[in-house]
Structure 1
Amino acid sequence: MKLQGILHVSLLVADLARARGFYESVLGLAPDPRRPDLGYPGAWYDIGAQQIHLLALPNPDPVEGRPAHGGRDRHVALAVDDLAALRAALDAAGIAYTLSRSGRAALFCRDPDGNALEFIEVKNPA
């Protein structure tokens, strides 16, 4: 057996409309209309050959008390082609972020439900 890759990551959200506002308006993602009725609200977003799944379900984890820097918390790392444009979008939306402490072109922010996201600038994603 050999693992072939990561197909999607699921994130819990308390308020689907608020979460969709972040993922669609700030990050510019479009929802995948093929998401079936799973018995609870949610949204799927295609990112290359992978997806982010938002699940509108109760979150068993505390939102408060998480590390200020998302790199010290569980997080999803996403490739972005223009980190400066992302920073401008986050600034315009009033969303706090921290720069990567490794020195590479990357930043961390949290979505409205406290999920940590890392964005790494990749000029020519594979």
Structure 2
Amino acid sequence: MSMKMLVPMEVGICCVDLPALSRFYQNVLGFTFVAQVHMPAAAAQQVGLSEGGYSVVRLQTPYGERIKLLAPERAPTRHEQGLILDRQNASYLTFIVEDIATLVADLKHAGASFFAGDAPIQLRPDVKALFCRDPEGNVLELVEYADIAAYRPDLLNDRSA
């Protein structure tokens, strides 16, 4: 038996400055605000998230995926050493975008830092990519496909009609 998902997957991101990171994802990456709630310490401890309480902001993409920005009452420690896949438990968010180059200036202005310069790398003839960190160090991958319909025909075949 496999898990039966009812809605698109959501990703939780631990953060320190909830308002600032929320603005970054909304203003630079185009997420929309859904809700903000506070969880008391007792609930946070029971579920295994934090010794203290935390606040969470839910943000959504135009396609329905959501991220949850979680700010614990006690600030988390920062771990950003080495290359992405040189760390166990490494993770990153991937955004498939129309034009990476036009997004770079907005990312820089909003406090993003880049791994190998701010120019997209041509991975294959039809694929460009760029890795950066959001203002709190979370890793983001931006990918641009020359033919997005070839990459995700399950989602995009209806658009050409």
**CA spacing shift, 1:85–1:26, aligned 2, 3 Å:** same
**CA spacing shift, 1:93–1:43, aligned 2, 3 Å:** same
Asked if the contact 1:8/1:53 (under 8 Å) is kept, the reply is yes
Residue in structure 2 matched with residue 44 of structure 1 by the alignment:
58
Partners of 1:113 and 1:92 in 2: CA distance = 14
Q: Deviations over 1:85-113 (max 9, x none)?
A: 22231133352223458453121111222
Residue 32 of structure 2: SS of its match in structure 1?
coil
More helix, by proportion = 2
Asked if the contact 1:31/1:46 (under 8 Å) is kept, the reply is yes
Equivalent residue in structure 2 for 1:115, among 121, 138, 146: 138
Asked if the contact 2:112/2:135 (under 8 Å) is kept, the reply is no
- Residue 4 of structure 1 and its aligned partner are, at CA, apart by 5.9
Sequence identity percentage? 28
Asked if the contact 1:70/1:110 (under 8 Å) is kept, the reply is no
Whether 2:31 is the aligned partner of 1:29: answer yes
Equivalent residue in structure 2 for 1:18, among 17, 20, 25: 20
The aligned length equals 123
- Segments of structure 1 that go 5 or more residues without pairing to the other structure are none
Residue 33 of structure 2: SS of its match in structure 1?
coil
Greater shift, 48-57 or 86-95, is seen at: 86-95
- Residue 38 of structure 1 and its aligned partner are, at CA, apart by 3.5
**CA spacing shift, 1:71–1:26, aligned 2, 3 Å:** farther
- Residue 14 of structure 1 and its aligned partner are, at CA, apart by 0.8
